[in-house]
Amino acid sequence: KAGVTQTPRYLIKTRGQQVTLSCSPISGHRSVSWYQQTPGQGLQFLFEYFSETQRNKGNFPGRFSGRQFSNSRSEMNVSTLELGDSALYLCASSLAQGGHNEQFFGPGTRLTVL
Amino acid sequence: AQKITQTQPGMFVQEKEAVTLDCTYDTSDPSYGLFWYKQPSSGEMIFLIYQGSYDQQNATEGRYSLNFQKARKSANLVISASQLGDSAMYFCAMREHGSQGNLIFGKGTKLSVKP
């Protein structure tokens, strides 16, 4: 069974641009979560999607948005990029929501904002 | 207040020895899950082991075991017979049932295995 895939793996953008990251969950998984990892803040939750609906959102500005498609694939978008958005963005999938469902992560997209 | 605390920023262990990575957590939700992940320098988060709050026995997965002490709110990871490939960052995380979704991570412990 294929794992979680994320594209692209690396991105370089400049301030003010926007970016879209893609995540394909494990087959059969319906929940997709996004996390941002930076050296200063560590791993922080962005949002979770389940059945094409955003179910939970972390404490990030509205420049960060996402969506989920009917095949459970998810995209996240960051508009008006800032230098501080440079980070590793990790996507995780699980069968369903809830505390007892294991989350499996993809390899991440490393975004650099210049 | 931090919900997940990993007090060891870095640790060294000799190859073939066992090592314990500490994790304490804080929650008022009676239903929660505790997870450990390994993150090599490549960046991918690798799931290692899971412990549910209602599980009676400590979880084990191959060389990994979780020392779950509910009353003390601790969930330490034990790696037996360390290998050079175990050198990585290790993150403890919690997922509260009430929150429905997100994992809350600790700051991580960098483990270095010496030959």
Q: How far apart are CA A86 and CA B84, in angstroms?
A: 30
Q: What is the pLDDT of residue B95?
A: 87
Residue A34 is predicted with a pLDDT of 96
> Which residue from A45, A104, A108 is facing B102, i.e. has the nearest CB?
A45
Size (chain B), residues: 115
Q: Find, in chain B, the residue whose alpha carbon is nearest to that of A57.
A: B102
Residue A85 DSSP one-character state: G
**Cα B65–chain centre separation:** 9
Q: Is the pLDDT of residue A98 over 80?
A: no
pLDDT of residue A45: 93
- Residue of A42, A50, A92 with shortest CB distance to B107: A42
The residue ranking higher by pLDDT, B42 or A18, is A18
Q: Tell me the average pLDDT of chain B.
A: 93
pLDDT for B8 equals 95
Q: What tokens appear for B43 in the block?
A: 């960046």
* Structure token digits, residue B96: 């509260």
All residues of chain A having their beta carbon less than 8 Å from the beta carbon of residue B99 are 56, 99
The answer, yes or no, to whether residue B1 has pLDDT greater than 80, is no
Say how many C-beta atoms besides its own lie within 10 A of residue A99's C-beta.
21
pLDDT at B23 exceeding the cut of 70: yes
Residue A6's closest CA among A26, A23, A28?
Answer: A23
The rounded distance, in Å, linking the Cα atoms of B89 and A3 is 21
- Residue ranges of B 17-76 with Cβ closer than 8 A to chain A: 29, 31-33, 35, 37, 42-47, 50, 52-53
Mutation test of the interface with chain B: which of A105, A109, A111, A112, choosing the one with the most B Cβ atoms within 10 A?
A: A105
Q: What local confidence, expressed as pLDDT, does residue B42 receive? A: 87
Report pLDDT digits (tens) over A19-61: 999 999 999 999 999 999 999 899 999 999 999 999 889 999 9
Alpha helices (H) in chain A, listed in sequence order: none
Of all residues in chain A, the percent with pLDDT exceeding 90 is: 82
